[in-house]
A and B are shown apart, each in its own frame.
Chain A
Amino acid sequence: MNCPLGTRDQAELLVAYSSHKLDRGQAAVLEEHIAGCAPCREFVRAQQAVWDALDVWEAEPVSADFDRRLYRRIDAQVTWWDRLMRPLQPLMFHKNVSLAAAAGLVLALGLVLNQTAAPPQRPAAKSGQVADMEGLQPDQVVKALDEMEALSRFNRLMKPETPESKM
C-alpha cells in the first residue's frame, strides 16, 4: 500500500488505528505497512501517546442531590392540565381518548364563551344615539377576560413543543 501519510484520507485511517477504532482487516493491512515505514511508526506512536494521555482526565462524581433537584424542576413544570388529568390517567391510555377529551373541552369552552360574549338583548338604539360602551357591567368584562386567558393557556398547551424547535 501507499504510505498513508501521503494523503489526508489515509492519514485519518492512521488516527483511527491509533485510537483502536479500525476493524481487524484494515488494521492488519496498516500494520504490515507500518512495520516497514518509520514516519508512519512515529506518527502512530505519538497518536497512541495522546490517546493514552487523555485517560488521565477522569470525570468528577455527580452531586448526590442531582436527581432530587431535577424532579423538583420537573414537578414545578407540571401544568394545571396535567394535574387535572392525573386522576384520569388510566383512562387516557389511548391517544384517541386524550384527543377526544381535549376536543370536548375546546367545544365546551367555545360554547361558554359564545354564550357569555353574546350581547344582552337591548332595545334598538334610537337614531343619533352613540353606541353605549358603558352599558357593559365590570364583572362581565372581568369574566370575559378570564375566559379569554384560559382559552389562550389551553391553546398553548395544545401546541406541544418539539425537541427540534427547542434546539
Chain B
Amino acid sequence: MAERVSKDVGAATAALDYDAELMLRVKDGDGASFAILLEKHRSPVIHFLYRMVQNQAIAEELAQEVFLRVYRSRGTYEPTAKFTTWLFRIATHLALNSLRDGKNERTQERLDEHTDDMPVRQLPDSKPSVEQAMLYQAKFREVRQAIAALPEKQRAAVLMHKYEEMEYSQIARVLNCSESAVKSLLFRAYESLRARLAHMA
C-alpha cells in the first residue's frame, strides 16, 4: 500500500506529511487510516472550535461536520498542502459561518452570566484554597471575554498561533491571506489582548 501511495503522490508531494499519506489511503478505501486521522486530530479541532465559538456543544457539532466533510471529500483529495492546513481551513470556515449565522448568540450572554462549563483544572495543591479557585475563575473568565471580543479573523489567528502552535505560513494558508497579513492580524490581536488583560500582568 505504501508503495502505491508514494507512486500516486509523486515527487512533488514527497515532502508532505504522514497525515497526507493516510488521507490518500482513505481515498483508496482504507477506513483504518481515517480512524487514525480522527484519533490524532479530533481534540485539536474540537478545542480550536470550542475557543472560536465558546460553546462546547456547538464546537462538537461543527467538528462532526469537519470530519464528515473530510470523509466525503476523500475521493477528490489531492495533497497539495499539509493535511492540517486543509483540516483547519475547513474548521475555520465552519466556525466563521457559525458565528456569522448567530448559531451561538447565547455565548455572549453565557459569558456575561457565569462559567458553568469551566473546565476543572488540576491545581498543584490537591486542595486549592477558596482564594485560588476564585482567582482562577476570574482569570479564566477574563481571558475568554478578551478573546471573544476580538474580531473573528484575529481570533482565529491567535488561537492557531497560541494553542495550535502553527507557523505564520500555515496560518496564512488556512486564512487564505499573506504571511505579512497574518503578522499584522496577530500584532493587532495581541495589542488588544494586552490592553484588556494588562491588569493581570
- Measured CB to CB, the residues of A under 8 A from B are 8, 11-12, 15-16, 18-19, 21, 45-47, 49-51, 53-54, 56-63, 66-67, 69-70, 73-74, 77, 89, 92-93, 160-163, 166-167
Contact = CB atoms under 8 A, between A and B. Distances in A.
Contact of B186 (A12, A58, A89, A163): A12
Contact of A163 (B69, B136, B190): B69
Secondary structure class of chain B's binding surface, majority of residues: helix
B103 interface: no
A94 to B, nearest CB: 9
A160 B74 CA distance: 9
A160 B71 CA distance: 12
Given A12-B187, A54-B147, A63-B60, 12 more contacts: A12-B186, A15-B190, A45-B201, A47-B194, A53-B200, A54-B193, A62-B60, A69-B64, A70-B64, A163-B69, A163-B76, A166-B69
Contacts of A163: 69, 73, 76-77, 86, 90
Given A57-B147, A92-B29, A161-B73, A12 B42 contact: no
Chain B contact-residue range equals 35 or more
Interface string B102-143: 000000000000000101010000000000000010011001
A59 B64 contact: no
Contacts of B68: 70, 73-74, 77
26 contacts: A12-B187, A15-B190, A18-B190, A45-B201, A49-B197, A49-B198, A53-B197, A54-B147, A54-B193, A56-B136, A56-B139, A57-B144, A59-B43, A59-B119, A60-B56, A62-B42, A62-B60, A66-B46, A67-B42, A73-B68, A77-B72, A92-B29, A93-B28, A162-B73, A162-B76, A163-B76
Contacts of A61: 119
Nearest to A160: B75
B194 A46 contact: yes
B11 to A, nearest CB: 20
A58 B190 CA distance: 19
Nearest to B89: A167
A19 B186 CA distance: 11
Given A89-B29, A161-B73, A66 B197 contact: no
B173 interface: no
B63 interface: yes
B99 interface: no
